[in-house]
Amino acid sequence: MKNPKIIGPGSSNVDLTGFAPKLPTAGETVMGTRLAIGPGGKGSNQMTAAARAGGDVYFITRLGEDTFGKVLEAHFDREGFRKDHILISDEVDTACALIEIDEADAQNRIMVIPAANSHVGRDEVMAAEGDFATCDVVLTQLEINMTGVMAAAELARKYNKPFILNPAPALPLPDEIWAFVDWFTPNETEVTLYTGVEVNNDDDARAAAKVLLDRGVKNVVITLGKRGAYWTDGKNEAIVPGYPVKAVETTGAGDTFNGAFAVALGEGKSPVDALAFANAAAAISVTRHGAAESAPQRDEIEALVK
């Protein structure tokens, strides 16, 4: 089978991750245990997960000509990304994220300094139009300039390609985007921000999804953490269970889910099979440290799905 071609604009950050037994409250200082520096950014993490899951990745992103940029460039090389749309400019700094991990429960807090990511917009996406025409799936998130997200949606529609929008971090979206979204993949917190519906059970998930379907979204996938994912297209629905694992770090788990899901859809898997594949990838990722680095290889995902 040909590796599905996955394209999309997205963010690239270097993550500076500090671990502590307890996170500080405002004005408090706590002693941490260690610092990790490595590739991150929701866009780069999703594309890393896609490449490891078997995708042929065409990533549209921007780096500065600086030390962090070199870290990410080396990472893209190792992962085998196509480099046609990786832009490097000396006028901007490479983006970074400051991440705090609570060792007690593996949860995180993240602050992103967008820098070069803000310079991934409509022009950068339009310059990659030829690769949208021949791709299998378009995948993006919200850590770049919104004009880039909208342009990706328009090109996906122009060439009749599935458009996956992972609304992370949750930000206001232009009204006109909803009708372009084939797959909308919020987590429980994000879906509440978009719909006003708090998701505590299956009925809530159904109600939140209906709000989005009524706006024009074709398929809603709500990720439910350990419980897996809820999917509906308005006629069919499923809760696809997650895989029980012991989490050490959840940073990038949603990104891994989306990258693996894009590949599975591009291979023509059914929604339920694609979600099982994505759930397995995300489950493996939380058993490891790192954002991009925790994404599993395809054989590991397949072994867990079996």
Active site residues: 255
Chain-centroid distance, C-alpha 32: 28
**Stretch 228-257: interaction string toward ligand RIB, x if CB under 6 A:** -----------------------xx--x--
279 binding ligand RIB? (CB under 6 A)? no
211 backbone dihedrals φ, ψ, rounded to 5°: -60, -40
Q: Are 156 and 162 in contact (CB under 8 A)?
A: yes
94 binds ligand RIB (CB under 6 A): no
Instruction: Tell me the C-alpha to C-alpha distance, in Å, between residue 191 and each of 84, 105, 196, 208, 272.
Output: 34, 23, 8, 7, 20
Write each residue from 95 to 124 as x if it is in contact with ligand RIB (CB under 6 A), else as -, in one continuous string.
--x------------x-x------------
Q: How far is the CB of 290 from ligand RIB (least distance, A)?
A: 9
Beta-strand (E) ranges in the chain? 5-9, 13-20, 34-40, 56-64, 86-89, 95-102, 108-113, 137-140, 163-165, 183-184, 219-223, 229-232, 237-240
Token representation of residue 181: 């979204």
Binding span for ligand RIB by CB under 6 A among 10-18, 22-30, 64-72, 274-282: 10-18
**Shortest approach of ligand RIB to residue 254 CB, angstroms?**
6
How many angstroms separate the CA atoms of 233 and 226, rounded? Answer: 22
Residue among 225, 226, 139, 239 nearest 184 (CA): 139
Provide the token pair at 241.
């269970």
Q: Is 40 in the site for ligand RIB (CB under 6 A)?
A: yes
Q: Which residues contact 179 (CB under 8 A, 6 or more apart)?
A: 215, 216
Count of residues that bind ligand RIB according to CB under 6 A:
15
Tell me if 5 contacts ligand RIB by CB under 6 A.
no
How far, in Å, CA of 216 to CA of 225, rounded? 25
Q: Which residue is nearest to ligand RIB (CB)?
A: 40
45 vs 232 by CB, closer to ligand RIB: 45
75 lies in the site for ligand RIB, by CB under 6 A: no
- Using CB under 6 A as the binding rule, whether residue 69 contacts ligand RIB is answered as no
Cβ proximity to ligand RIB: between 186 and 271 the closer is 186
**Contacts with ligand RIB, 144-183, as mask; x by CB under 6 A:** ----------------------------------------
267 binds ligand RIB (CB under 6 A): no
Q: Does 290 bind ligand RIB (CB under 6 A)?
A: no
Task: Give the single-character DSSP code of 134.
Answer: T
Q: Are 180 and 154 in contact (CB under 8 A)?
A: yes
Q: Is 16 near ligand RIB (CB under 6 A)?
A: no
| Sequence-ordered list of residues with C-beta below 8 angstroms from that of 244, at least 6 positions apart, any chain | 226, 283
CA 69 to chain centroid: 20
Q: Given candidates 73, 131, 143, 267, which one binds ligand RIB under the rule CB under 6 A? A: 143
Which of 45, 140, 219, 256 lies at the binding interface for ligand RIB (CB under 6 A)? Answer: 45
153 contacts 165 by C-beta, under 8 angstroms: yes
> Which residues sit at the interface with ligand RIB, rule CB under 6 A?
11, 13, 15, 40-42, 45, 97, 110, 112, 143, 251-252, 255, 291
